[in-house]
Structure formats: C-alpha cells, structure tokens
Chains A and B, each alone.
Chain A
Amino acid sequence: MSRLEANRPAVDLPDSLDAPVFAEPWQAEAFAMTVALHDRGLFSWAEWAQALSAQVKKPGAAADGHDYYEHWLAALESLLASKGLAEKSDVDAMAHAWERAAHATPHGKPILLENDPEFSSAR
C-alpha cells in the first residue's frame, strides 16, 4: 500500500509528548513571525491557510514532510509580498546581506548585519 508505507519511519515516530517541533531555529522563527503578524491583524488566519495550502499542494512536496517549513516560509513571503509588506526584491537583497555578514563573521561570534562588508547604515 503505498506511499504511507514507503514513509514508514515517519508514521512510526514514537508517540512522544516532547519531540522537538522545529528541526532548526529558523523554522521556529518563521512560525513565530507568522503568529506575531497575524496577532497584529496584518492578515486573517484564513488568508494564511490559503497561502500555506497553495505552497504545500505544489508538486514535489516531500512525502516525509521534512520540507514543511520551507513551504511555510514560501507562503509567508508570498503573503507579505501580496500585502506590500515585504517585496521579494527587498527580501532577496537583505538575505544576501545576511549571507555576506555571516561569511564575514568569525566563527563563534554572533552574526550581525553590520558585519556585511557592503553594509551601510542607510540600508
């Protein structure tokens, strides 16, 4: 039977009450930002569910669900862009600035946007 069976390890997860819900910190941050923005009334939860649904139903979603928060993030970005709250080009530019900043930050030190070699406070 099928896809669920191929996915055996995922359904055989122990019924633990304490399993971590986020695999990586950025997933928790993306989740919390969504909750916070909704709390501020910037979108309704129905709008959010629609945006998330549009992402997760795209072909190619992993059967084990490991890419779920990647879809979540894509949904958040598309909703914020459609509301004019964060344009994709701005997010792209800022993400690259963070990547450059990370690269320029010595290991073990906190990554700050100011560490981006191209940083200008006017940004």
Chain B
Amino acid sequence: MSHDHDHDNELDPFAARVRALETILTRKGLIDPAAIDVIVDTYETKIGPRNGARVVAKAWSDPAYADWLKRDATSAIESLSYTGRQGEHMQAVFNTEDTHNLVVCTLCSCYPWSVLGLPPVWYKAPPYRSRAVIDPRGVLEEFGLTLPAEKKIRVWDSTAELRYLVVPMRPSGTDGWSEERLAELVSRDAMIGTALARQPQQAGEPA
C-alpha cells in the first residue's frame, strides 16, 4: 500500500469494496447501515461460546433437558433463547466412554453460531477442514488431545442446514455444582470436539 500521502487516509481494497457494496445496497434500500452495526455488535459481544456452555451445563444437570437436547436440539436450544438466524437445524452429539465426537465443515465453515458465536480461525482454515475427516486422531493429537486407541472418533460434517454441538462428558468431582459453575468447565473447543471439558481443578485457570 502506498504511503506517499502520509496525512491522507487510505482504504485498503477490501475495505473499499465493502463500503462500495454497502453504498450500493443502501441506495437500493436492501440494507440499513444501522442494522449492520447491530449485527456486528451482536456477534462481537453478545453471542459466543458461553451460550453453548450454558446448554451443556444444563444438559449435565437436568436429565430431562439432556433427553430433549438429544431428541430435538433445535427446540431445546431455542428454549434458552439461542436461535439460529439461518434457519439451520441443530444436532447435539454426546461424547460417551466409547465415542468421542468431532465437528468440521469440509465444504466451507458452517458452524453453530447461535451457541458458539463465530468460528475460530483454525476451524475455517484448509488444513483442519481437509484433515479432520481423514485423520481425526492425528488432528486431535495436534490439539494436545490423545485419546485411548480403543475410543472411537466420530466426525460430523456440518452443512448449511444442519450444525452440530458436541456435548462433552461431565468431569468427575463436580457433584452438586451449580449450572453456572459447570458452564465454566465447558470451553469452545470442547463443544467442537478438539478438547475435553476442563477438570474441576483447572476451573480457576484462565480460560
């Protein structure tokens, strides 16, 4: 980028194209700039993995809710006011002693926004998208998660219509914990499947 006009503003080409689209679409009455700001603010500050952590903590605490989440995750999640904007359906996949679940979107980067916010960079990057299906065990090891050889790994490939939320196993030593405390054990990565829930003794560590 040219810096020969030190006192002038520069727009990089991407920023200029985004502004151009905004101008054209606003003039056509197709978007409202104020509404755009609201959407940005919502995704930057209001929607994030804490939503999903609350869903998981509730499922750990309330067997009836867990059952509902298994049968109809879309409704069970909506009951907590976390509603998908794209009309997508949700499926909750529960980790068990036998099976670990891992979510990917090989096509692009479909992701359960309503419960996890927007995806991390690595989720959108080509290596994860291409390798999670072919070599999930190797990918998990690179995330520092080594699973016993006998544990099956099931990989779920998201689509525009169907997104997955991994429900990690509840750590032992958490009997009687409130949902709020339990939610602190549930990281974003645990709900994608590249991590497990934190152990109680890790709960005080920075997230």
Contact = CB atoms under 8 A, between A and B. Distances in A.
Interface in A89-106: 90-99, 102-106
Specify the main secondary structure of chain A where it touches its partner: helix
A105 B142 contact: no
Given A7-B125, A103-B8, A106-B8, A91 B160 contact: no
A61 B125 CA distance: 8
Interface in A1-32: 1-8, 10-11, 13, 15-22, 24-26, 28-32
Given A32-B36, A106-B7, A98 B19 contact: yes
A113 to B, nearest CB: 7
Tell me which of A2, A32, A76 has the highest count of chain B C-beta atoms within 10 A of its own C-beta: A32
B54 interface: no
A91 B8 CA distance: 23
A29 B36 contact: yes
A56 B122 CA distance: 14
Interface of B: 5-25, 28, 30-32, 35-37, 39-40, 43-44, 48-50, 85-88, 107-110, 117-118, 120-122, 124-128, 130-131, 135, 138-139, 142-143, 159-161, 187-189, 195, 207
21 contacts: A2-B131, A5-B142, A6-B127, A8-B142, A17-B49, A17-B207, A26-B18, A35-B39, A37-B31, A40-B30, A56-B108, A64-B121, A85-B30, A86-B25, A94-B20, A95-B16, A95-B17, A98-B19, A98-B20, A106-B7, A107-B8
Given A11-B142, A91-B17, A95-B20, 9 more contacts: A21-B43, A22-B118, A26-B15, A37-B31, A53-B107, A63-B126, A65-B121, A68-B124, A69-B14
